[in-house]
Amino acid sequence: MTERNGLAVRLGRAAALSLIAGTVGGAAILAGQAIAARSRPYAQPELGLALRAAVGRAGAPALRLVLLGDSSALGVGVARLEETVGGQLAHLLAEGPTGRRVQLSSVGVSGSRSTDLATQVARALLGERPDVAVILIGANDATALARPADAAAYLGSAIRRLREAHVEVVVGTCPDLGAVRAVASPLRQVLAWSGRRIARAQISAVLDAGGTVVDLAAETGPVFRADAGTLCHDAYHPSADGYRVWAHALLPAVEAAATVAARHH
């Protein structure tokens, strides 16, 4: 299923199942907004984006960094590796006080939900073991109105498998879907509500599984709501500026995880 079609199905389901559509008129409004959202052209994964890259000076302390998750782990919405959240994180780590040589890779798949993480973990652990894994997941669970407990359980399982393989894990929770401009109100509020429920469940699951959590909605939501430039042309996926905001929010946790990983070498 393509990202556009998958999103369309999820938005339609959100409208159909919304608890706030208590009247025929409310349901009609939500249905109309879902149709409008489905008809929008959404950004697609850029085939030219490299899934593996080395960033930083040769001879610097090495750090193997892998991204797992949905379209945000791939960088849908931008055209260059340097503009993705992974690329920007790698450059920040390379240019930071420790000056690391980052071996960057991504096993994320556009449209993924938490149920898809098991396959991604298996791919991430092929070959050389990564030092740090960054997981960005939850938006598609929220738009599908998935049960938060179920989504959190799959996420927790993925983290435990990575931790058992001695990989440090940082999770960016479901972002603030109330900032998405591709969807009109009140459907946008429905998605925001669903996203908050997913994020709350994720926070508990990450901590229980031994990972580090970054609440992207709390830390970056106000910026995305205030600045339309944080979203790309489809008004749904982040732009290069949006991914930069996320990278800076994730950086302290990733730096700390990298320091812990270096001690274990």
Residues 6+ apart with CB under 8 A from 47: none
Using only C-alpha atoms, the chain has a radius of gyration, in whole angstroms, of 18
Catalytically annotated residue among 72, 112, 234, 239: 234
3-state SS string for 202-218: HHHHHHHHCCEEECHHH
Rounded Cα distance, 4 and 31, in Å? 17
Is 71 an active-site residue? yes
- What is the C-alpha to C-alpha distance for residues 173 and 72, in angstroms, rounded to an integer? 12
Q: Which of 106, 110, 141, 237 is catalytic?
A: 237
**Is 237 one of the annotated active-site residues of the chain?**
yes
Give the CA angle between residues 45, 172, 186 to the nearest 5°.
75
Contact criterion met (CB below 8 Å) for 144 and 13: yes
Q: Cα separation of 15 and 90, whole Å?
A: 38
DSSP string, 110-122: TT--GGGHHHHHH
Rounded to whole angstroms, the Cα distance separating 213 from 204 reads: 9
The residue type of 140 is: N
DSSP letter at 126 equals S
Per annotation, catalytic residue among 71, 72, 106, 110: 71
Active centre residues (catalytic): 71, 234, 237
